[in-house]
């Protein structure tokens, strides 16, 4: 790091002392209610330029923030963005900086600033047009168009009523809404006027306070569009869930993002969290996960003084490698370093289907999967060729083999459990039941029935025939789950794991003699995407050492035996993941049904199928 180390110190917070485990500055601060109110007023520009009683270091603008002789100046123009589909009712004036070196025949780099007007002000702390003029002139950053976007306001339409201010809604939320707004509405409007690049490595984004978390969130959700982030006094706290970012950074497969962080030890400490601690948590998480990250810590408050002073330096660092793609490196400490090679990526196996589900691996190594609406079962041979295996099965979804190579499936439209002879393609109905997915074990089949909020069991004999009498229905063995979906067992086939697509947990049950279930608990804690009320937890698969791989709306979530999520592997952009299975000669290739496609991902782990001999995993660390 370019920032020099300083000693750790004690710091007073609301009368209680605690030790900062990260580097700090040697001054001690006491935060009182009056100081908090004053800090908020200063940050919002409402306190007439007053500063807290304890004066932090003064930060002065350098020559790069001042107009220099002989440096050609760009121009700032504006346009009205109205209406917005992502944020209905908002109307905003967007400003655009165009450098003098701009050439319409050469697409320019682009950098988007949140709270745009403050960054354009020629007498303010940022003075972005002047800084860009100087750095572009000296070749210290590429020819870059700046886009300055204010937060949205929905007018009340009544002089006696207050407008609705969208700033926190747009900026603080850990969702992709604001990134959609920029990508689908702002950038096309800019591109209609100027030639800007679509290379994400030449797209930067910046913000301060809530604008900072917004900037990071855009790159986090859409690294295919933005990869360079400048964040000052970032609001990575619990205003709208932003405090989850350090956890997600540590668990999620690293993304190709380069980020510069700034904060000060006298930043806000209020109901939503401690900004100073939160920014250090972001730095720790980004460093641990292997990101290219730089920082500057100071002793300033919640204002733009320090950030404005270091802005030119940050731009030089952020754009220094503009001619190279930003890598997505996995640090040796990251949980996924044990799972994936850094270069491993999802490979498309088959496409053109309507909605894929139920991947299953056969004892001979072939992978089968279903196209639910079309009623088709497809097969991927060991050599990788894909072919239609069987059609005429409307609503076919869950598929699984037994050790004898018999294929079982559920037909959701007909409400049937069926067995399929892979040689003759004969289909035998084994039971009538509302169904979604299944798992086949020695002695029986468990089936999820989300419509009726239950799991049922159908006993099987050694020949794969139903053990139910003609007038007997499948036996209900669990009713606690709101929307039971995918099923898998632990490697020893002792515990049945059932996902709840409407809840936050995967349930765990001990399998008893005769197929009954005991001691059900909401066990594996599933991460939920912001703006979602359902985890989308769906199909699952298992490794020989007892790690659960679960398909969710956030991608593959990887859990240890005690039910803790260690890692998240995002799905290909814009696709809904439904189910998973390990296959391949070494059972180390993860297949996933995603949207209307089948993908695979090579891994370093070894999966296990329920039809394989049971394995007792090692005792986990608790």
Predicted local confidence at residue 62, as pLDDT:
97
- Residues constituting the chain: 622
Q: How many CB atoms lie within 10 A of CB 453?
A: 16
Structure tokens at 483: 């929307």
For residue 272, the Cα-to-chain-centroid distance in whole angstroms is 22
Q: What are the extents of the domains in the chain?
A: 10-319, 335-608
Q: What is the dihedral of CA 87, 93, 94, 97, to 10 degrees?
A: -170
**Taking a C-beta distance cutoff of 8 angstroms, is the pair 526, 552 a contact?**
yes
Q: What is the dihedral of CA 181, 182, 184, 186, to 10 degrees?
A: 110
Residue 149: partners with Cβ closer than 8 Å, 6 or more residues away: 92, 94, 112, 113, 114, 116, 182, 186
Percent of the chain with pLDDT strictly greater than 70: 91
Averaged pLDDT for residues 604-613: 97
Tell me the pLDDT band of 56, cut-offs 50, 70 and 90: confident
Predicted local confidence at residue 41, as pLDDT:
39
CATH homologous superfamily for the domain 335-608:
TolB, C-terminal domain (2.120.10.30)
Q: In which region does residue 528 sit, left (phi positive, over 0), alpha (psi from -120 to 50) or beta (all else)?
A: beta
For residue 149, the Cα-to-chain-centroid distance in whole angstroms is 24
The model carries a pTM of: 0.88
At residue 32, does pLDDT exceed 70?
no
Residue 134: partners with Cβ closer than 8 Å, 6 or more residues away: 63, 64, 68, 71, 312
Q: Which of 36-50, 192-206, 272-286, 318-332 has the lowest mean pLDDT?
A: 36-50
Predicted local confidence at residue 384, as pLDDT:
84
Rounded Cα distance, 417 and 402, in Å = 14
Predicted local confidence at residue 59, as pLDDT:
95
Averaged pLDDT for residues 231-249: 97
Per-residue pLDDT tens over the stretch 93-142: 999 999 999 999 999 999 999 999 999 999 999 999 999 999 999 999 99
Domain 10-319 sits in CATH at 3.40.50.1820
**Taking a C-beta distance cutoff of 8 angstroms, is the pair 498, 486 a contact?**
yes
What are 569-577's contacts with CB under 8 Å, separation 24+?
569/252, 569/253, 569/336, 569/339, 569/340, 569/601, 570/252, 570/253, 571/346, 572/346, 572/599, 573/224, 576/536, 577/536, 577/538, 577/551, 577/552, 577/553
Q: Which of 24-28, 93-97, 349-353 has the lowest mean pLDDT?
A: 24-28
What Cα–Cα distance (Å) separates residue 429 from each residue in 376, 426, 449, 474? 17, 10, 17, 13
Averaged pLDDT for residues 371-377: 97
**Taking a C-beta distance cutoff of 8 angstroms, is the pair 251, 568 a contact?**
yes
Look at residue 620 and give its three-state secondary structure.
Answer: coil
The helix (H) or strand (E) run that includes residue 215 is: helix 210-221
Look at residue 431 and give its three-state secondary structure.
Answer: strand
Predicted local confidence at residue 471, as pLDDT:
87
Tell me the pLDDT band of 52, cut-offs 50, 70 and 90: low
**Taking a C-beta distance cutoff of 8 angstroms, is the pair 129, 97 a contact?**
yes
**Same fold for the domain at 10-319 and the one at 335-608?**
no
């Amino acid at each position: 790091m370019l920032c020099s180390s300083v000693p750790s110190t004690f710091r007073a917070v609301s009368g209680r002392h605690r030790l900062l485990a990260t580097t700090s500055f040697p001054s001690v601060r006491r935060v009182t209610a009056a100081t908090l109110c004053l800090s908020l007023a200063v940050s919002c520009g409402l306190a007439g330029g007053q500063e807290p009683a304890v004066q932090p270091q003064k930060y002065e603008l350098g020559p790069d923030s001042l107009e220099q002789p002989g440096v050609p100046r760009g121009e700032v123009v504006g346009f009205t963005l109205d209406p917005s589909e992502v944020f209905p009712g908002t109307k905003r004036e967007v400003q655009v900086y165009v450098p003098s070196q701009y050439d319409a025949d050469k697409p320019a780099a682009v950098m988007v600033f949140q709270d745009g007007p403050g960054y354009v002000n020629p007498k303010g702390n940022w003075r972005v047009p002047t800084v860009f003029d100087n750095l572009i002139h000296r070749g210290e950053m590429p020819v870059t168009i700046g886009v300055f976007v204010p937060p949205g306001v929905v007018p009340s339409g009544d002089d006696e009523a207050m407008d609705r201010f969208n700033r926190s809604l747009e900026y603080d939320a850990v969702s992709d809404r604001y990134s959609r707004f920029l990508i689908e509405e702002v950038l096309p409007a800019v591109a209609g006027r100027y030639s800007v690049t679509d290379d994400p490595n030449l797209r930067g984004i910046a913000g301060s306070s809530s604008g900072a978390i917004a900037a990071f969130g855009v790159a986090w959700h859409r690294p295919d569009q933005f990869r360079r982030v400048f964040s000052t006094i970032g609001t990575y706290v619990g205003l709208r869930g932003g405090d989850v970012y350090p956890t997600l950074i540590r668990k999620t497969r690293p993304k190709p993002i380069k980020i510069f962080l700034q904060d000060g030890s006298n930043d806000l400490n209020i109901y939503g969290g401690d900004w100073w601690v939160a920014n250090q948590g972001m730095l720790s998480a980004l460093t641990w996960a292997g990101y290219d990250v730089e920082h500057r810590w100071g002793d300033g408050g919640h204002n733009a003084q320090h950030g404005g002073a270091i802005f030119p330096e940050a731009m030089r660092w952020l754009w220094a490698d503009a001619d190279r793609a930003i890598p997505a490196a996995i640090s040796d400490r990251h949980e996924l370093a044990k799972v994936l090679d850094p270069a491993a990526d999802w490979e498309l196996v088959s496409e053109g289907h309507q909605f894929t589900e139920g991947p299953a691996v056969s004892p001979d190594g072939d992978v089968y999967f279903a196209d639910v609406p079309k009623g088709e079962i497809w097969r991927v041979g060991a050599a990788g060729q894909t072919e239609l295996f069987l059609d005429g099965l409307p609503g076919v979804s869950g598929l699984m083999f037994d050790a004898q190579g018999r294929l079982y499936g559920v037909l959701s439209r007909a409400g049937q459990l069926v067995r399929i002879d892979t040689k003759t393609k004969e289909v035998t109905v084994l039971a009538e039941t509302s169904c979604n997915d299944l798992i086949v074990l020695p002695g029986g089949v468990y089936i999820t029935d989300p419509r009726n909020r239950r799991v049922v069991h159908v006993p099987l004999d050694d020949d794969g025939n139903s053990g139910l009498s003609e007038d007997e229905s499948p036996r209900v063995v669990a009713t606690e789950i709101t929307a039971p979906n995918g099923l898998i067992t632990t490697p020893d086939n002792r515990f049945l794991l059932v996902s709840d697509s409407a809840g936050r947990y995967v349930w765990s049950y001990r399998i008893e003699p005769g197929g009954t279930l005991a001691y059900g608990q909401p066990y594996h804690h599933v991460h939920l995407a912001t703006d979602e009320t359902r985890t989308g937890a769906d199909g699952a698969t298992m490794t020989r050492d007892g790690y659960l791989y679960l398909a969710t709306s956030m991608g593959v979530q990887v859990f240890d035996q005690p039910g803790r999520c260690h890692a998240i592997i995002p799905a290909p952009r814009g696709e809904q993941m439904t189910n998973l299975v390990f296959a391949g000669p070494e059972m180390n290739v993860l297949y996933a049904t995603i949207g209307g496609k089948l993908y695979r991902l090579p891994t370093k782990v070894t999966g296990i199928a329920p039809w394989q001999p049971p394995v007792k995993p090692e005792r986990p660390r608790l």
